[in-house]
Amino acid sequence: MNSPRSIDRLPGMADLYSAEIDRRDKLVRTLQESYELRGYQRVDTPLLEQTELFIRKSGGDLSSRLYGFKEPGGYEVSLRPEFTAPVLRFASKGRASEIPARYQYAGPVFRYPVTEPGGQTERGEFWQLGAELIGPNAPAADGEIIAMAMEGLALLDAPESVVKLGDVGMVWQALQPFGLSQRAILFMLNSIGDLRQAETEVHRVRKKARDMGLTGNQPTANGPPILQGGSDRAPALVESVLGEASNANSFFAGGSRSKEEIAERLARKLTRAEDPARFDAALDLLGKLASLNGPPAEVFDKAEDALKGAGQTTEPLENLMQVVEAAICEGVPREAIRLDLGLARGILYYTGVIFDAISAGRPVGGGGRYDGLTRALGAKQDLPSLGFAFNLHAISEVIPAGEIESKPEGSLVVARGREAAPAAAREAARLRQQGSRATLDFNARSDLETLRPTARSAGYASIVAVAADGAIQREDLL
Amino acid sequence: MSLRLAIPSEGALAKGAERFMASCGLKVSRASSRRYTAAVPAMPGLVALYQRQSDITSEIDGESADVGLVGLDRFRESRREGGDTILIVEDLGFGKSSLELAVPDAWVDVTTVYDLADLAMEFKNRGRELRIATKYPRLVKRFLNRRGINYFSMVHASGGLEAAPVMGYADMIADITATGVTLRENRLRPLLDGAVIQSQAALVGNARLLAVLPERLSLVRELLERVEASLRARRFQRISANIPGESPESVARMVMSRRELAGIEGPTVANVFTDDGLNWFNVQVVVRKNDLIAAVDHFRSIGGSGITVNEASYAFRSRCESFDRLLHSLEPYRNGQEPRSGPQ
C-alpha to C-alpha distance for A236 and A245, rounded to whole angstroms:
14
C-alpha to C-alpha distance for B336 and A474, rounded to whole angstroms:
44
C-alpha to C-alpha distance for A255 and B172, rounded to whole angstroms:
8
A55–chain B Cβ distance below 8 A for any pair: yes
Rama region for A283: left / alpha / beta (φ>0; ψ in -120 to 50; rest) = alpha
Residue type, B108: V
B44–chain A Cβ distance below 8 A for any pair: no
Interface ipTM = 0.70
Tens of pLDDT, residue by residue over B243-275, are 999 899 999 999 999 988 988 788 999 999 887
Q: In whole numbers, what is the pLDDT of chain B averaged over residues?
A: 89
Give the confidence band of B151 by pLDDT, cuts at 50, 70, 90.
confident
- A237 lies in which domain range? 217-271
Mutate to test the interface with A, among B108, B113, B329, B331 (most CBs of A within 10 A): B108
Asked, for residue A9, whether it belongs to a domain, the answer is no
B257–chain A Cβ distance below 8 A for any pair: no
Q: In B3-72, where do the E strands start and end?
A: 3-8, 37-39, 46-51, 67-71
Higher-confidence position of A25 and A188? A25
Which domains are delineated in chain B? 3-95+200-233+319-335 (3.40.190.10), 97-198 (3.40.190.10), 236-311 (3.30.70.120)
C-alpha to C-alpha distance for A421 and A295, rounded to whole angstroms:
71
Residue among B82, B104, B193 whose CB faces A254 most closely: B104
- Interacting residues of B46 by C-beta distance below 8 A, sequence separation 6+: B2, B3, B5, B26, B39, B40, B219, B223
Query: Pairing state of beta strands A411-415 and A438-441?
Result: parallel
Inter-chain residue contact B150 with A269, CB threshold 8 Å: no
pLDDT of residue A115: 67
Residues A27, A129 share a domain? yes
Asked, for residue A69, whether it belongs to a domain, the answer is yes
Please classify residue A434 by burial: count the beta carbons closer than 10 Å to its beta carbon, then call 0-12 exposed, 13-18 middle and 19+ buried: exposed
Asked, for residue A108, whether it belongs to a domain, the answer is yes
Give the confidence band of A404 by pLDDT, cuts at 50, 70, 90.
low
Inter-chain residue contact A218 with B111, CB threshold 8 Å: yes
Largest CA distance in chain B: 92
B112–chain A Cβ distance below 8 A for any pair: yes
C-alpha to C-alpha distance for B90 and B71, rounded to whole angstroms:
9
pLDDT of residue A403: 57
A228–chain B Cβ distance below 8 A for any pair: no
Give the confidence band of A368 by pLDDT, cuts at 50, 70, 90.
very high
Task: Find the residue in B nearest to A270 (Cα).
Answer: B109
Distances (CA, A) of B193 to A5, A175, A336, B237: 43, 28, 44, 38
- Interacting residues of A51 by C-beta distance below 8 A, sequence separation 6+: A66, A68, A76, A77, A78
Inter-chain residue contact B145 with A63, CB threshold 8 Å: yes
The answer to whether the CB of A447 falls within 8 A of the CB of A421 is: no
CA angle A466, A468, A469 (to 5 degrees): 95
Residue among B111, B165, B343 whose CB faces A118 most closely: B343
Please classify residue A369 by burial: count the beta carbons closer than 10 Å to its beta carbon, then call 0-12 exposed, 13-18 middle and 19+ buried: buried
User: Closest approach of chain A CAs to the CA of B8, in angstroms?
Assistant: 25
Task: Give chain A's domain count.
Answer: 3
Residues A443, A391 share a domain? no
- Of the three residues A368, A398, A428, the one that is the final residue of a domain is A398
User: Closest approach of chain A CAs to the CA of B187, in angstroms?
Assistant: 7
Inter-chain residue contact A63 with B150, CB threshold 8 Å: yes
Residues A288, A177 share a domain? yes
Strand partners, B51: B8
Residues A288, A265 share a domain? no
Position A25 pLDDT exceeds 90: yes
Residue type, A380: K
Neighbours of B7 (CB within 10 A): 24
Asked, for residue A372, whether it belongs to a domain, the answer is yes
The answer to whether the CB of A49 falls within 8 A of the CB of A78 is: yes
Residues A295, A246 share a domain? no
Residues A158, A69 share a domain? yes
User: Closest approach of chain B CAs to the CA of A280, in angstroms?
Assistant: 20
pLDDT of residue A236: 61
- The DSSP output letter for A113 is P
B167–chain A Cβ distance below 8 A for any pair: no
Tens of pLDDT, residue by residue over A79-130, are 999 999 999 988 887 666 667 899 999 999 999 887 665 566 788 999 999 9
Kindly report the CATH number assigned to the domain that includes residue A144.
3.30.930.10
Position B128 pLDDT exceeds 90: no
- Interacting residues of B273 by C-beta distance below 8 A, sequence separation 6+: none
Tens of pLDDT, residue by residue over A305-349, are 999 998 889 999 999 999 999 999 999 999 999 999 988 665 567
Asked, for residue A130, whether it belongs to a domain, the answer is yes
Residues A327, A440 share a domain? no
Asked, for residue A403, whether it belongs to a domain, the answer is no
Local structure of A445: helix, strand or coil: coil
Residues A174, A63 share a domain? yes
Quick one: how many helices (H) and strands (E) in chain A?
Answer: 17, 16
Share of chain A above pLDDT 70, in %: 85
- Of the three residues A342, A369, A398, the one that is the final residue of a domain is A398
Inter-chain residue contact A254 with B106, CB threshold 8 Å: yes
Higher-confidence position of A316 and A272? A316
Q: In whole numbers, what is the pLDDT of chain A averaged over residues?
A: 84
Residues A44, A191 share a domain? yes
Q: A276-290 and A168-175 are packed helices; what angle lies between their axes, rounded to 10 degrees?
A: 150
Residues A334, A241 share a domain? no
Q: B214-233 and B321-330 are packed helices; what angle lies between their axes, rounded to 10 degrees?
A: 140
Task: Find the residue in B nearest to A264 (Cα).
Answer: B109
- Of the three residues A398, A432, A453, the one that is the final residue of a domain is A398
Position B344 pLDDT exceeds 60: no
Asked, for residue A195, whether it belongs to a domain, the answer is yes
Least confident stretch, A111-120, A212-221, A390-399, B82-91: A212-221
Tens of pLDDT, residue by residue over A198-253, are 767 788 888 777 776 677 644 444 444 444 444 455 556 656 666 655 554 445 67
pLDDT of residue A201: 78
Residues A470, A415 share a domain? yes
Q: Average of pLDDT values for A46-67?
A: 80
Contacts of A236 in chain B (CB under 8 A): none
Highest mean pLDDT: which range of A247-256, A384-393, B156-165: A384-393
Asked, for residue A212, whether it belongs to a domain, the answer is no
Highest mean pLDDT: which range of A290-299, B149-158, B262-271: A290-299
Tens of pLDDT, residue by residue over A126-147, are 999 999 999 888 999 999 999 9
The answer to whether the CB of A104 falls within 8 A of the CB of A130 is: yes
A120–chain B Cβ distance below 8 A for any pair: yes
Inter-chain residue contact A242 with B106, CB threshold 8 Å: yes
Q: A139-155 and A18-37 are packed helices; what angle lies between their axes, rounded to 10 degrees?
A: 140
Share of chain B above pLDDT 70, in %: 96
Residues A267, A285 share a domain? no
